[in-house]
């Protein structure tokens, strides 16, 4: 089972990573000004992660595939790592779908 790790950045803001059961980061958030905003982001990932239409599949300038997970309002709530190929990206999406909804929250801030 995956887990969300919330941490405080050097600038005093908050962000989270969703980690798979093997500890690998599969989704990272933007930074939030407040811890409550960060927790709302975690809850949004939990709610939106099951719907395939929420995943925006992208290609970076260097050709690496990656994806953004978007909320119902179109706001990006998480971004993946860069992958070496499309099948790796699709595996990443499948991992977020599998891990996010029931993930524990580890507040390290």
Alpha-carbon distance 30 to 20, whole Å? 19
* pLDDT digits 0-9 by tens, 54-97: 999 999 999 999 999 999 999 999 999 999 999 999 999 999 99
Full domain range(s) for residue 27? 3-107
Rounded to two decimals, the pTM is 0.91
Q: Which residues on adjacent β-strands are paired with residue 67?
A: 57
Q: Which residues contact 55 (CB under 8 A, 6 or more apart)?
A: 67, 68, 69, 70, 93, 96
CATH code of the domain covering residue 52: 2.30.29.80
* pLDDT digits 0-9 by tens, 19-55: 998 999 999 999 999 999 999 999 999 999 999 999 9
User: Number of folded domains in the chain?
Assistant: 1
Alpha-carbon distance 76 to 52, whole Å? 14
């Amino acid at each position: 089972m995956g887990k969300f790790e919330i941490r405080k950045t050097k600038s005093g803001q908050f962000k989270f990573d969703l980690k798979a059961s093997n500890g690998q980061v599969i989704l990272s958030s933007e930074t939030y000004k407040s811890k409550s905003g960060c927790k709302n982001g975690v809850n949004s990932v939990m709610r939106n992660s099951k719907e395939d239409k929420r995943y925006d599949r992208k290609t970076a300038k260097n050709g690496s595939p990656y994806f953004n997970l978007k909320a119902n309002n179109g706001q990006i709530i998480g971004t993946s790592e860069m992958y070496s190929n499309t099948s790796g990206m699709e595996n990443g999406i499948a991992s977020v779908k599998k891990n996010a909804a029931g993930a524990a929250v580890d507040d390290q801030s």
